[in-house]
Amino acid sequence: MKIHPSAIVSPQAELGIDVEIGPYCTIESGVQIADRCRLVAHATIRSGTTLGCDSMVCEGAVLGGMPQHANLKAEPGRVIIGERNIFREHSTVHRSMHCDKVTRIGDDCFFMVGAHVAHDCQVDNRVILTNGTMLGGHVEVGERACLGGNVAVHQFCRIGRLAMVGGCTKVVQDVPPFVLTDGATALVVGLNSVGLRRAGLDRQQILNLKAAYRLIYRKGLNFRDTIAALEEQFPQGFASEFAEFFQGGQRGFVQERRRPPRVALRVHPSIDEIDDLDEASEAPTPRRLAG
């Protein structure tokens, strides 16, 4: 264990083996830091925080800060952070509002400079929050989702897994899994094909997702019929997650960016190349999925 002489570490903090605490770091009482974690400099880990092994906390980051809320409880909840996470400069994570609840972050996440996770958020594994991304309270972010720079997510919204949210997007409704949103319009513009490919989805899985996307945004079905059709046509696999996602949430769903009539669905060329369907013969009319 290496602790710089200028660091302030409470005797009531629990530190694992091979932990490194850099200059001017502050570790409060009740903190639990697992093995091989590294705090670079001027990092603060506040009471009620558990940090998983092999994580790195960079300059000015604050983990376990008090919730930013006008009606702050006398005894807030905890922050539980998984393994192998990286918190770059000045990123922040706040404790839950309630003593019996938790702000939770999974494993292998990357929080870039100035990223903020508010109270009661639930962030799954391998999530990336790019510089300046802000999650409001009670936000849920699915596995391997990626949020671009300066994205702002309204409280109680959900970001589906493997979704890509374009930079500067203002998210005020749920973003379905597997899709890509445009930062300029904050609307869905297709599948997150790069993310799907990197996640190892095979040809048939991607084609199923593409068919489900067409059903959701191009068939003109009402919300209830859309759910029923998804459950019937995609009872299992990745595409089956759309129906489950749409049956949850409190704020409705981000819509597709409107396209002129007779424009076929376009996704990344790497996906189009493996799709032997002749989209040119289609004549879909853009529709909205009722939220």
Is the Cβ–Cβ distance between 39 and 25 less than 8 Å? Answer: yes
Least confident of 44-48, 71-75, 148-152: 71-75
> Which pLDDT does position 178 carry in this prediction?
98
Confidence label for 91 from pLDDT (cuts 50, 70 and 90): very high
| Burial annotation 12-28 (CB, 10 A radius, 16+ → b, else e) | ebebeeebbbbeebbbb
Q: What is the pLDDT of residues 152-210, one digit of tens each?
A: 999 999 999 999 999 999 999 999 999 999 999 999 999 999 999 999 999 999 999 99
Q: Which residue would you say has higher pLDDT here, 135 or 287?
A: 135
> Which pLDDT does position 283 carry in this prediction?
38
Average pLDDT (31-36) is: 98
Cα separation, 47 vs 32, whole angstroms: 9
Is the Cβ–Cβ distance between 27 and 45 less than 8 Å? Answer: yes
Confidence label for 267 from pLDDT (cuts 50, 70 and 90): low
> Which pLDDT does position 277 carry in this prediction?
39
> Which pLDDT does position 73 carry in this prediction?
76
Q: Quick one: 197-281 is in which CATH superfamily?
A: Udp N-acetylglucosamine O-acyltransferase, C-terminal domain (1.20.1180.10)
The three state secondary structure string of the chain is CEECCCCEECCCCEECCCCEECCCCEECCCCEECCCCEECCCCEECCCEEECCCCEECCCCEEEECCCCCCCCCCCCEEEECCCCEECCCCEEECCCCCCCEEEECCCCEECCCCEECCCCEECCCCEECCCCEECCCCEECCCCEECCCCEECCCCEECCCCEECCCCEECCEECCCEEECCCCCCEEEECHHHHHHCCCCHHHHHHHHHHHHHHHHCCCCHHHHHHHHHHHCCCCHHHHHHHHHCCCCCCECCECCCCCCCCCCCCHHHHCCCCCCHHHCCCCCCCCCC
Is the Cβ–Cβ distance between 57 and 81 less than 8 Å? Answer: no
Confidence label for 71 from pLDDT (cuts 50, 70 and 90): confident
Domain 2-138 maps to which CATH number in 3.50.50.60, 2.160.10.10, 3.90.180.10, 2.40.128.720?
A: 2.160.10.10
Q: What percent of the chain shows pLDDT beyond 70?
A: 88
> Which pLDDT does position 11 carry in this prediction?
97
The pLDDT of residue 264 is above 60: no
Cα separation, 275 vs 277, whole angstroms: 5
pTM of the model: 0.87
> Which pLDDT does position 282 carry in this prediction?
42
Burial of 205 (0-12, 13-18, 19+ CB in 10 A): middle
Sequence spans of domains, the chain: 2-138, 197-281
> Which residues are known to be catalytic?
119-120, 137
